[in-house]
């Protein structure tokens, strides 16, 4: 979790990014969120309680300028308070669709035991009344588009 812009800059400068590297940022700071959304080297902004409350038209504009997307990670359903995290996910899904923000639904698995099948993402979209076309693109098309050249 990045708390300030200088922390992200230090990490980005310390590592040489290859074309296929995808940089993902999770933050609890509005300034850092806006900066990360605008920076073309950062491809994904991860959803958390803080980020979900700041999805709006200005965030959409910054994400589109930076060619980035929002990521909803399903692994948090395993380790956090499930009901509370489910509310955050559904709220984030609804806001992302309302503001037409590119969205990625991922397992964020660190081992095969944490993998979620795609139908779990589809079920969550169904709970949030998200159209199937948007849900399927968040599981396939948007992640594929993020794997292009990095910044």
Q: What is the mean pLDDT of residues 11-15?
A: 68
Question: pLDDT class for 136, splitting at 50, 70, 90?
Answer: very high
By the 10 Å C-beta count (0-12 exposed, 13-18 middle, 19+ buried), 9 is classed as: middle
pLDDT at 19: 55
**Which tens digit of pLDDT belongs to each residue from 23-35?**
788 888 888 888 8
Q: Does 150 have pLDDT greater than 70?
A: no
Spatial contact of 130 and 97, defined as CB atoms under 8 Å apart: yes
Flag whether pLDDT at 64 surpasses 60. Answer: yes
The residues, ordered by sequence, that sit 6+ positions from 115 with a Cβ below 8 Å of its Cβ are 107, 109
Work out the average pLDDT over 85-112: 87
Mean pLDDT of 14-20: 59
Distances (CA, A) of 60 to 43, 74, 75, 97: 14, 22, 25, 11
Residue 17: predicted pLDDT: 60
Query: Mean pLDDT, the chain, as a whole number?
Result: 82
Report the pLDDT value the prediction gives residue 134, as an integer from 0 to 100: 92
**Residue 151 pLDDT > 70:** no
pLDDT at 5 over 80: no
- For residues 74 and 79, give the distance between their C-alpha atoms in angstroms, rounded to a whole number: 10
In the block, residue with structure tokens 């599981």:
139
């Amino acid at each position: 979790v990045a708390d300030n812009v200088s922390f992200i800059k230090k990490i980005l400068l310390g590592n040489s990014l290859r074309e296929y590297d995808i940089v993902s940022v999770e933050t609890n700071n509005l300034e850092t969120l806006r900066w990360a959304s605008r920076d073309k080297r950062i491809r994904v902004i991860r959803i958390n309680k803080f980020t979900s409350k700041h999805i709006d038209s200005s965030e959409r504009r910054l994400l589109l300028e930076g060619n980035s997307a929002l990521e909803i990670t399903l692994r948090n359903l395993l380790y956090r308070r499930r009901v509370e995290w489910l509310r955050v996910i559904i709220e984030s899904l609804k806001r992302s669709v309302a503001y037409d923000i590119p969205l990625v639904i991922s397992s964020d698995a660190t081992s095969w035991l944490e993998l979620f099948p795609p139908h779990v993402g589809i079920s969550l979209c169904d709970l949030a009344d998200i159209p199937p076309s948007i849900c399927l693109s968040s599981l396939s098309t948007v992640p594929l588009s993020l794997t292009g050249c990095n910044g």
